[in-house]
Amino acid sequence: MMRILALVPGGTGEQLLFFPTLDTLKQQYPNAEIDVVVEPRAMASYRVCLSVNRVLKFDFNDRNSLADFGNLLGTIRDREYDAAILTQPRQSLKILLWLSGIPLRVSFGNQNNFLLTESIEFDPQEYAAVANHSLLAPFQILKPCPPIKVNLPKGDLDWAASEQKRLGLPKSGFILLNCGALANYPADSWAEIATDIQAKLPDLSIVAIDSVNNAELLEKLAARVPNLLIASPTDVGKLAALIATANLFICAEGDAMQFGVAVGTALVAILSAATSAKVFLPIAEKRVKYVQAIAGQSLKDIPPQTVLAKIWES
């Protein structure tokens, strides 16, 4: 049986951008055991991924001691993997894989790195999901990168249906807002967007997601937007299911944005100047739209009229 290991630093968004690579691996090697090593904050992502057997925890960004790396190395060596993929070619992790003795070790970089057996040229301007998928070339997999997909458990779909019933949402549907924290995109701007939508589409309800660190923003928003509804998904599966049932998903940049991409809902993303749309979004898809702060400005500086123009754009 083939055993494959992937080390994927980053949060939930980075994991979702790696899902197409995992799915293709599983399709090509259906009997393989595929394990991933991810940070504690991202482990829940794999609730909605069917292509992985085990999720191992390691905080790549912590001040890890030699003992921490030694424990991870021991776990890896015990599993006797046949191949390993590293999405971020950090020197410490390349050394770790070299010490593991895994026969096939793949990451981005130049061809002269003895710590890897195969290096793939990295294009920093390429859509991240496609770039990750190129790491499969040493496995003789040259298929195009498929779209990001997530598995929505029945329990989460049932929760989304019951949440719509609890909120009294009409059959005409609803528009979902993921506002993020108050420090990102301001409540006043969200309120202007929501009230404009209500005026133009009175049959569609506006639902805002209650998430970590946005209680103050939602309080301000509720005071400005009549009949605003609040939904509180408690895990990534319920969040993805809720987004999947919306008519339109408007969100500030972050992990939830990738769920919007994955479930196929029409999406309008609000991006900072530092975030490359073509790296983090499949901008060729017509359902995916975005607005972006100009260089030198922050997310807060994007006028709500700019977001509304993108929403109403045909």
Same domain, 125 and 185: no
Report the alpha-carbon distance of residue 309 to residue 303 in Å, rounded: 10
Same domain, 161 and 296: yes
Q: Are 23 and 46 in contact (CB under 8 A)?
A: no
What are the structure tokens assigned to 14, written together? 């980075």
**Among candidate residues 219, 220, 156, the one with its CA nearest the CA of residue 188:** 220
Same domain, 117 and 45: yes
pLDDT of res. 213: 76
Report the alpha-carbon distance of residue 305 to residue 314 in Å, rounded: 16
Same domain, 158 and 135: no
Residue 192 structural domain: 154-312
CATH code where residue 122 lies: 3.40.50.2000
279-302 b/e (C-beta count within 10 Å ≥ 16 → b): bbbbeeeeebbbbbbeeeeebeeb
Q: Return the half-sphere exposure (C-beta side, CA atoms, 13 A cut-off) of residue 243.
A: 29
Same domain, 75 and 119: yes
Burial class from Cβ neighbours inside 10 Å (0-12, 13-18, 19+) for residue 20 reads: buried
* pLDDT tens per residue across all 314 residues of the chain: 899 999 999 999 999 999 999 999 999 999 999 999 999 999 999 999 999 999 999 999 878 788 888 999 999 999 999 999 999 999 999 999 999 999 999 999 977 788 999 999 999 999 999 999 999 999 999 999 999 999 999 999 999 999 999 999 988 899 999 997 656 889 999 999 999 999 999 999 999 999 877 888 999 999 999 999 999 999 999 999 999 999 999 999 989 999 999 999 999 999 999 999 999 999 999 999 999 999 988 889 999 999 999 999 97
Which phi-psi region, left, alpha or beta, contains residue 22 (left: φ > 0; alpha: ψ -120 to 50)? alpha
pLDDT of res. 183: 61
**Residue 103 CB coordination number (10 Å):** 10
How is residue 73 annotated by DSSP?
H
pTM score of the predicted model = 0.94
Same domain, 118 and 248: no
Number of independent structural domains in the chain: 2
Same domain, 24 and 85: yes
